[in-house]
Structure 1
């Protein structure tokens, strides 16, 4: 086993039931924590000595890698690698891995929780009772509705599986999954343009940062739909959605991330007048003990494998 420094910039690494920091240290490695936003100047002294980097959601740029002459491995703590400059990593002979599936169950659970909370007005009901207002808003039952899922990877499929227990009809769109395979999952395949027409609730689980919920999409949506987003804030045009909520064209929005999280200023969705129709959690969908152990354990095993000279699981970009 090689000695050296492992930089960790994931906030939740080794905070579950497993002491993964100790596992790395027992292998002769020095573990140094860094800021989750990957501030370059703050990380530069550690990058100078790092042989591996267990990276959270912050950007991993060519400028970061230029400061890391000994870096052999970036272990992305989670699934998405959009923030990692994969081309530059490859050119520098740095292997990149991720941890697919490690938090899928946690996020799928959270998604259904947000659906129910938005559908039944849980947050607004709580605020009302605390203020002495016991008025009731009549809701709908999840099992009588149709849920449209955009993106049928592990999480989208997990959501569909959970909804089957409610008796909910599920339709789905994913350009990378054949229609016949979608049907085998118990989901009716539909086109992206049709999903809003067919669904009472639309749930986003697609990768990437391209806006898919924009003013054009919202204009096509029949009134009274609920939108749930446990994927990425960038998928939604928040200004257009705020207006759709304000006019009550969209009934409610529940999400686990907002643009403000990425430092892009105040989100229009946080306007107090929209509070009764919006529900947000602090990017916590994946934050269960089990998911933290799964992600951290997979990242730790990958780091140890690379430093032993072995090929780890879940290679996203091989070394050059």
Structure 2
């Protein structure tokens, strides 16, 4: 019987690397499904899956119960907060990811969103199309203080780019040792202090925690621009929407929403009155040819190793 690999990543094989061909050449059958990981859609596919190259949707114990043949999960990306690692380990199902493959792509997208929101480009475009050539003044990035939450691969690449613009950078990450050489050029602080010191705060921490909430936003009324290319649950979207209406949040630019994988459009940040202050993209941060190819090569290589009973290069501990 030919082993089957279920693929639920939107961008799998969309770059120059023929990821699907690599699986086929190795003798495996590929089946594709949506990245939201809906149980009703995946149930019949998981029943026959020997491997799963998983997208951004949740991988829960309920999913794993439907997959009696599953020998491994290769997460197409770096984040595994949506994967129930404990349930996978209990079933003896190893999980891998693709660390570093899309870091540069996400860092560049972060700066793209930051500059787009800072200069009010979407609203300006709409005005010009309506025949209105009026404008508003903005700030230069070199004059701003930017707080970076999360100092892993992506956060550090964002810092490199911010420093090239001449911005003053503060870094917050309790897991990074104070003696790290990064702090020779970046001021070390904590998330709470960013509320009163920063013009911009950009999020690059793992999911599973709320960083920007009502309390953080109420600490100070200094206008702040928020950027989130990490995980939706890092912010309280209701609180951010309220803060945007009173001027505490001058703009929110994000590559994700809490409703991303549940098929809903009801985020408070999508309200019409916030359209000029909220800039959103559809989880596009990693979607460059280079990023897609890097994720594809790593995910396929680890999946082939798992299916052959070999040790993968990028295991994720439970």
Instruction: Give the TM-score taking structure 2 as reference length.
Output: 0.95
**Separation in 1, partners of 2:181, 2:120:** 31
Contact 2:191 2:211 in 1 (8 A): no
Deviations 1:95-141 (A, max 9, x none): 11011111110110010111111111111111111111111211111
Deviations 1:6-42 (A, max 9, x none): 1101111011111110110111100111222222232
**Separation in 2, partners of 1:229, 1:130:** 28
1:172-211 aligned at under 5 Å gives the runs: 172-181=171-180, 183-184=182-183, 186-211=185-210
**Separation in 2, partners of 1:199, 1:141:** 14
Instruction: Please state whether the residue corresponding to 1:152 is helix, strand or coil.
Output: coil
1:316 alignment counterpart? 316
Contact 1:40 1:64 in 2 (8 A): yes
Contact 2:207 2:230 in 1 (8 A): no
Moved over 4 A (4+): none
Contact 2:6 2:51 in 1 (8 A): yes
Query: What is the deviation of 1:260?
Result: 2.5
Q: How many pairs does the alignment contain?
A: 317
Contact 1:259 1:265 in 2 (8 A): no
Q: Does 1:293 pair with 2:293?
A: yes
**Separation in 1, partners of 2:59, 2:182:** 38
**Separation in 1, partners of 2:77, 2:296:** 9
1:66-215 aligned at under 5 Å gives the runs: 66-181=65-180, 183-184=182-183, 186-215=185-214
Query: What is the deviation of 1:185?
Result: 6.2
Contact 1:230 1:256 in 2 (8 A): yes
Q: Does 1:276 pair with 2:276?
A: yes
Instruction: Give the TM-score taking structure 1 as reference length.
Output: 0.95
Contact 1:157 1:185 in 2 (8 A): no
Instruction: Please state whether the residue corresponding to 1:227 is helix, strand or coil.
Output: strand
**Separation in 1, partners of 2:95, 2:64:** 12
1:7 alignment counterpart? 6
**Separation in 1, partners of 2:204, 2:46:** 33
Query: What is the deviation of 1:307?
Result: 2.3
Q: 1:297 to 1:63 in 2, by over 3 A?
A: same
**Separation in 2, partners of 1:141, 1:44:** 51
Deviations 1:161-188 (A, max 9, x none): 1111111111010010012216446211
1:244 alignment counterpart? 243
**Separation in 1, partners of 2:98, 2:118:** 32
2:306 alignment counterpart? 306
Q: 1:262 to 1:26 in 2, by over 3 A?
A: closer
Contact 1:108 1:156 in 2 (8 A): yes
2:231 alignment counterpart? 232
1:41-60 aligned at under 5 Å gives the runs: 41-60=40-59
Query: What is the deviation of 1:286?
Result: 1.0
Instruction: Please state whether the residue corresponding to 2:77 is helix, strand or coil.
Output: coil
Any stretches of 5+ residues in structure 1 without a counterpart?
none
2:32 alignment counterpart? 33
**Separation in 2, partners of 1:52, 1:233:** 28
Deviations 1:183-208 (A, max 9, x none): 44621101221112221111011112
